[in-house]
């Protein structure tokens, strides 16, 4: 018997948060179709009516340091020192020294310390956009487990990761062993990720405390409690935030990918 998280079943490896260093594989930078569906959000929703999500494409992995460095070489206005303070705090790309070189430190790790504005600019430059909050969460919850014990183990490790994140030892993209049913990797266990509407309107009425997280937990399990923490954490950021825990991946409208494929 499969025990679902919030939606359709999918296999997941329970080597969940162990970091396995890999050679950069061929799927980095690729996109996969996430078909339309629905899920139950921890946010308020019409009782009995799950959140509907249309089909979209999503990067299989977070954007890497190497990919972002190429963007910087093509868009000098987003290099450190050139970005106006209204678009990023001083911590933007903290630790980057020479963005005019092809040599990148930790090229296969996900880029972090980028603002929401910078992530948007990157995605637009490749014909995409940031995923919506519901798209990201829908994709992330396309998982199931063989037993309640497995589900609890995953949720407990996930909550532990959120509370002990080590930005000095992130690991390469694809290294977590976590993958949804369509091949989207590392939505858990590597970094936090920007989404388009990371500050939903309801955030104005919420305090960022444990009590609020508890009230957001409607599904009655540790997995949804971890999701609540994720929502609250996102809400605490400014679009100018350049946190070492935050990176991103891009989403694409179905029509955009179809037009691109047709032109090849």
- pLDDT of 70 reads 94
- pLDDT of 253 reads 95
Could you tell me if residue 10 is left (phi over 0), alpha (psi between -120 and 50 degrees) or otherwise beta? beta
Helix (H) or strand (E) holding 39: strand 37-39
- CA distances, 29 to each of 32, 60, 250 (Å): 10, 7, 10
pLDDT along the chain (264 residues), means of 10: 36 29 44 93 72 96 96 94 95 84 88 97 96 94 80 80 77 91 92 91 59 56 73 89 95 86 76
- pLDDT of 165 reads 74
- pLDDT of 72 reads 95
Q: Which of 158, 180, 151 is nearest to 11 (CA)?
A: 180
- pLDDT of 10 reads 30
How far apart are the C-alpha atoms of 62 and 186, rounded to whole Å? 8
C-beta of residue 88 within 8 angstroms of C-beta of residue 80: no
Q: How many CA atoms lie within 13 A of 127 on its CB side?
A: 11
- pLDDT of 116 reads 97
**235 in helix, strand or coil?**
helix
**247 in helix, strand or coil?**
strand
- pLDDT of 24 reads 37
How far apart are the C-alpha atoms of 58 and 193, rounded to whole Å? 13
The torsion angles phi and psi of 38, rounded to 5 degrees, stand at: -150, 160
- pLDDT of 15 reads 29
């Amino acid at each position: 018997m499969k025990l679902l998280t919030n939606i359709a079943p999918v296999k997941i490896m329970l080597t969940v948060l162990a970091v396995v260093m890999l050679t950069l594989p061929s799927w980095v930078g690729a996109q996969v179709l996430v078909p339309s569906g629905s899920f139950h959000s921890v946010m308020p929703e019409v009782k009995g009516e799950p959140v509907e999500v249309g089909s979209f494409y999503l990067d299989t992995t977070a954007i890497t340091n190497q990919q972002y460095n190429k963007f910087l070489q093509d868009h000098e206005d987003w290099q450190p020192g050139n970005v106006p303070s209204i678009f990023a705090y001083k911590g933007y790309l903290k630790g980057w020294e020479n963005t005019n070189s092809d040599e990148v430190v930790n090229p296969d790790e996900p880029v972090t310390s980028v603002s929401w504005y910078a992530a948007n600019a990157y995605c637009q430059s490749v014909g995409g956009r940031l995923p919506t909050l519901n798209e990201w969460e829908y994709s992330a919850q396309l998982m199931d487990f063989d037993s309640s014990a497995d589900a609890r183990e995953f949720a407990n490790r996930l909550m532990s990761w959120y509370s002990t994140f080590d930005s000095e030892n992130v690991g390469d993209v694809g290294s977590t062993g976590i993958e949804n049913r369509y091949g989207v990797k590392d939505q858990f266990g590597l970094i936090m990720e920007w989404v388009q509407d990371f500050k939903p309107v309801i955030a104005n009425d919420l305090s960022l405390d444990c009590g609020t997280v508890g009230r957001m937990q409607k599904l009655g399990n540790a997995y949804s409690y971890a999701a609540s923490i994720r929502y609250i954490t996102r809400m605490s950021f400014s679009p100018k935030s350049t946190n070492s825990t935050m990176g991103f991946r891009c989403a694409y409208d179905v029509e955009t990918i179809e037009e691109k494929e047709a032109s090849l």
